[in-house]
Each structure stands twice: as structure tokens, then as C-alpha cells.
Amino acid sequence: MQHPYSSNAVVARSTRFSRNLAGSALVAFLALAAQPTLAQSLNYNVNNAQNLAGTYQDLGTAGTVITTANSDDANSAPQNIGFNFPYNGTSFASFILSTNGFLKLGNVPLSDPFLFFEYAQTEAAGTFPGGPLASTDSRSDNIVAPFSTDLTGATAGGTEYRVATTGTAPNRVCTIQWKNVRDKPKQANSTNNAIIGTQVDNFSFQVKLYESGQIDFVYGSSTAGAGPDAFRTIAIGIKGSTPQTGDIITADKNSTTPWANTAFLDNHYELTNYYFSADPHNVRSSVRPDAGRTYRFRANAATDAAVQAVYTMGQLPLGTPHVVRASVRNAGTTILSNLPVSLDVTGATTFNNTQTIPVLAPGASTTVTFAAYTSGSRLGTNSVAVSVPADTYTNTDVRTETQTLTENVYNYAPLQPSMTPTYYGYGTREGIMATRYTAPRTANVLAVTDFVATGSNSTGQVIQGVVVSSTGTLLGSTAPYTIKASDLGTTITLSFATPVAIPAGDFMAGIAQPASPTEHYPVGLLGEAPNRTGSFFYRGSISSGTFTDAAPTKYGPFMIGAITTNTVTGTGKAAPAVAFALVPNPASSSAQLTLAEAAAAEQQVTLLDALGRPVRTQTLAPRATQATLSVADLPRGVYTVRVGATAQRLVVE
């Protein structure tokens, strides 16, 4: 796959797609990117979507049957919701059901009864023809699609469509149910005539429209289709008036990924970049939903600030000043004024700082820069948390990153990334990928490190570690290194024969990739959104030229580190870092704490409130690895769970 942004541009690779972009397509892509974005009119935000375990309750005989001409490619007459449902700037009193797994709000007829993906499988990366979510026909506006594909009645029969409205104002719920349906066998794609057989049979699912504006997709039981087992492309999501970003939210997963791991996108399965490439919601007969699986879309609240990303270092040398930044978005519908944003560093280093955003308009984002802190002289692990005051949706009120304090290693990547790295490089061309670091004093760079991703195709290929000045001058190179098969999936160290002297201030550590007849991508790549600026760079020449910031092309962080001399040495070690997980988070009744490793001695678990006051403690017995933290009686908000020197934020909602 090649993605040439310019003749000197770098190429990134994703584990999902392989694709070539022709020059004309590239021009169209860049022209589109230069256009102003549409104002968001859909009253939902992707950050407020949730994937939850729940319970499926069949409607039975409640409500009324929705009549359709058949169970294959038919639309119903308008059906009453039972209350006014707020959606996309309009209050809707009715909907039209499609037998093909979606509904349209309002009483304007759909464009036709055959709205579904044209083929059973992905036509091309980022291109999925057909379907109500992709349609730009105004008659296909205001779509709610729990399982949009070419459906028909189940083999066991009993297919039915039903609606029931329950509750009292202002808390009524309208439930629309598709009962006992299956996906129809269909041609794979335009170049593959193979027929993809039924994957999910005897399947039932529901849409729940809440008077508050909340939408739930709830999935019931199913049986494996006649198959054979293969992936099937499904569209799941909600759309306002267009399939453009800000007007659509889609559910995304690979066919082998459990439904519990589905993520959400703010586009119609577009290739945002080659890290954040997107499948539709692919399914297969061997990976069907757990009964009660619920995808929830929560309507935008009046007050909702969201911490989108925390920009810090994953590995930071001792005695190094460090500035943390964070991206904060107003995901609500009203202006935020004098919004406090807090940085809390706990662990080997303790530091707190609060900055205030004077004004943040609805839908706007800003980058907050905190005061610098110095990493001190104690080796250990820090928890770097950025938070805003608790509001309507607390799950976006805090983000936490882990930082390891090292003797002499700089790296944006944490020691244990929470996501699987992908890969980045120049394909067959030459170039340098580099990360910018700041040395607090004169030093020597001893080596450059690089994570080589498993799928990089780099075995047998040559790279070099380089140090580059802040102005782009090449200061030093390691000997050429040939990547071995055993290097894949690991971090390699490329040492300089003579240490490279650097002054205090900015410098860049990079990986030089000479031209090669073999297309490969030797630099490890993580993902973040939005991407930080001023940290990750590339240029299409090893010897000279100007470096380009990778942020506008939505790439980074690069997993390139630097090992330097350091006059600050560790005078001691902080209390041992304790790796643990909290699930679920946010939690409403309880959270399960799981330690990565058992300890020989007792360990204290402390739950602190937003003011740092202990509200609950419990003791883990020697060699215990799990504990249940009850939070049902606690006020909603952001708490801190501490085990030893390690702390994590826990959101109670």
C-alpha cells in the first residue's frame, strides 16, 4: 500500500488494509481536506457512545405488530413513536421500518426498499457502496441502523416486526423489534463472484428510543447461519442529514473481534489515515453477539467537557523538565466559561497544576499547556492524569497515561503500550522518520531505539539510527543494521560508534531508511487523536532537506527513542510500581481490580475522592491478584485507586 502525500512524503501501513492511491485520488483527497468542515447538526457525539453488556427482553405480545409487504426488502407505513423524539434538530413523532435492519425517523418515504450494501464483503478499503448510512439522498436522512444489511426471514420462521411504547412522560421508551431474521446469501464483491452464505440466523434485535434522546441498539440470541463461516459487511450506526463527519456515528469491528470490543467512529468507515483505518461492523457465524449486547448513543448534554488526549512522554530520563499538554473539547451544547483543567502526576513524582480555559464554544477543541515539572531523581512509574470537573458524562472527564522514569531513555511510547503498534515508513524510497526531544543540558546520544512491528515486512532490510539537530542538520549515524526476523515485534537498539554530542535544547532521534526494492515500514507507530504537533517528523532525504510535522497527516506517535548520557542518576527507587487493571471503568456498582502479578506480602488498596481524601481501603492478601471495589454507594464523580505507588482514575457514574 502506498499513500503518497507528496513526492517526499512518508508512507504508513495499517494491519487492516492494503491500498494504492492514484494521483487523481490524492488530489481529490487533499482538496477535500482543505474544505471547511460542516457544522455539526446531529445531536450526538462519538465520545458519548457506549458498548455495554445488558439484557435482551423480547417484546412478546406487547405493543403492535408492524405490517410489511414481505420480510425481504420492504418498508412499513409510518409508525407512531408515542412521544416527540428529539433528533438532528427536529422532534419526530413517527418512524418507517425497513426489513433490512434499520429505521428512518419521520413519515417521508424512503428512496427505495433496497437500501443495503451492494456486496456481502468490503468492496475496497474506505469504499462501501450502498446502504442507508452511505446514502446522500435526502429521503435517506435521519437513519437509525442497528443491523443494516440485506435481511430476510429466518429459516426457523416466526419473523415479525413490532413496536411498543412504555413508561410515563418524560421517561417513555419506544422499542422497535426485528424478530427472527437472517442475512441473505450474497455475492462477495464486484470482482469476486463467490456467494457468501448466511452468517447469522434466527436473529432478533431492537432499537430503543428514549424520550431523553438516548438510543440503544440491543441484540438478542442467534444461531450460526448455513455459511460457510466468512466475514460479512454490516453497517451499524446513526446518521443525520449526511454521511459526513459530525453528522454520523458508526460502529466498527473486525469479523473475528468480539462484539464486546466494538469501537465507534465519527465517519462512514473512512480511511482517516493508515492507523485509524476502518472496517464496517463485520460479522461472521463463529463470532455472534452475546445476548443483551447494547450499543448506546447518548444525546449531547448541555454541559459536557471532554479530555480527548494527554500529550506526555512514556519514558522520561531523571532530572528532566517536562511539559504536559492535553486536548480538551466542548462536547456539550452550551458555551463553557472559565473551565478548570487539572494535571495530577502521582507515583515516583508528585505534581499538580491547574489551567483555566476562558471560553470554549460548543464543538470547539483547544490544547491546554500545563506548567513544567522535573522528573526528579527517583526511578519508578508515574500516573499522568488530566481531568475536568465531573459533568453529565463522566467517562470523558479524565484521561490517564503511564510514564516510566528512566536513567537515560527518552521515548514517547510507554513501556507497555495499551494498543497493538502498527508500522510506518517510506516503502521503497529513502527518508528519515524522527522524534523531537528536549535535552535539559549538554549531553551525548549513545543510541537510538526503534520498535519494529511484526507486519512491517522489514526482515532483511537495512536501517540506521540518526541524530539530527533542531534545524535539520544530520549530526551522526549508526552503522547500517540489517533487521532480523527475531527483531519483529521488539525494540532494537542502534548504538553510535562515537557518541553524538548535542547542546541543551531540542534535538531529533530518527531512523534512516535507505531506498530498497522491497517495500517495508520499519518504524513502530501508535495512534492518538487528535494528533499532537511538534513531536513527530519526516523528510524524503537522508542527507538534507526540511522536516515535515506528521501531525497534519494524522500520524504518530513514532516509537523511536533516544539513549543519552545523564548527569542526574537515581538516588533511590520509588515504591514498586504495581500494574493493575480496573474493569469496568466507568463503573456504577462495582469495579474488578486485577493485578498483573501477585505480591508475596499484603498490599493496600486505597480509593480516594477528587480532593485526595481516602474514602475506602481494603487489604489484598499475599499472592492475591483480584479484588472487587464496591462503588454503588459513592457519589458520581472521578476517584483515584492506588495500589503501592501506582494510581489509576476510576469514574463512578
Please state whether beta strands 481-482 and 462-469 pair in parallel, antiparallel, or not at all (unpaired). Answer: antiparallel
pLDDT at 649: 77
Domain annotation covers residue 28: no
Domain annotation covers residue 38: no
pLDDT at 651: 80
Same domain assignment for residues 631 and 550? no
| Single residue among 379, 406, 433 that ends a domain in this structure | 406
| Single residue among 243, 269, 299 that ends a domain in this structure | 299
Same domain assignment for residues 75 and 170? yes
The 3-state DSSP class for residue 641 equals strand
pLDDT at 23: 27
pLDDT at 127: 52
- Residue 91 phi, psi (nearest 5): -100, 120
Among 420, 422, 402, smallest CA distance to 412 is for 402
Helix (H) or strand (E) run with residue 506 in it: strand 505-513
Same domain assignment for residues 463 and 367? no
Same domain assignment for residues 151 and 106? yes
Going by the DSSP 8-state scheme, the letter that residue 138 receives in this structure is G
Apex 164 CA angle, 162 and 167, nearest 5: 165
Q: What is the CATH number of the domain that holds 437?
A: 2.60.120
> In Å, how far are 68, 99, 285 from 73, measured between CA atoms?
9, 6, 22
Q: Could you tell me if 76 and 161 are in contact, meaning their C-beta atoms sit under 8 angstroms apart?
A: yes
Among 526, 492, 532, 543, smallest CA distance to 421 is for 526
584: cis peptide before it, omega within 30°?
yes
pLDDT at 587: 83
Domain that holds residue 548: 418-564
| Single residue among 249, 283, 299 that ends a domain in this structure | 299
Same domain assignment for residues 76 and 170? yes
Q: How far apart are CA 620 and CA 599, in angstroms?
A: 9
- Residues near 514 by beta carbon (within 8 Å), at least 6 away in sequence: 430, 462, 463, 464, 480, 542
Q: How far apart are CA 16 and CA 254, in angstroms?
A: 9
Domain annotation covers residue 574: no
Same domain assignment for residues 443 and 533? yes
Domain annotation covers residue 26: no
Please state whether beta strands 315-317 and 398-406 pair in parallel, antiparallel, or not at all (unpaired). Answer: parallel
pLDDT at 123: 55
Same domain assignment for residues 246 and 324? no
Domain count, the chain: 4
Domain annotation covers residue 572: no
Class of residue 611 by CB neighbours under 10 A (exposed 0-12, middle 13-18, buried 19+): exposed
pLDDT at 579: 66
Q: What is the dihedral of CA 394, 399, 402, 405, to 10 degrees?
A: -120
Domain annotation covers residue 345: yes
Q: Could you tell me if 451 and 432 are in contact, meaning their C-beta atoms sit under 8 angstroms apart?
A: no
Same domain assignment for residues 309 and 295? no
Same domain assignment for residues 373 and 422? no
Q: How far apart are CA 451 and CA 489, in angstroms?
A: 7
Q: How far apart are CA 437 and CA 563, in angstroms?
A: 11
Question: Strands, E, within 440-502: which ranges?
Answer: 443-452, 462-469, 474-477, 481-482, 490-502
* 294-320: burial string, b at 16+ Cβ within 10 Å, e else: bbbbbbbbebbbbbbbbbbbbbbbbbb
Among 536, 523, 509, smallest CA distance to 408 is for 509
Same domain assignment for residues 271 and 128? yes
Same domain assignment for residues 549 and 474? yes
Same domain assignment for residues 362 and 264? no
Domain annotation covers residue 412: no
Domain annotation covers residue 12: no
- What digits encode the pLDDT tens for the residues 516-561? 999 999 999 998 889 999 999 999 999 999 999 999 988 889 999 9
pLDDT at 44: 94
Q: What is the CATH number of the domain that holds 621?
A: 2.60.40.10
User: Could you say which residues of the chain have pLDDT below 50?
Assistant: 1-40, 125-126, 272-277, 575
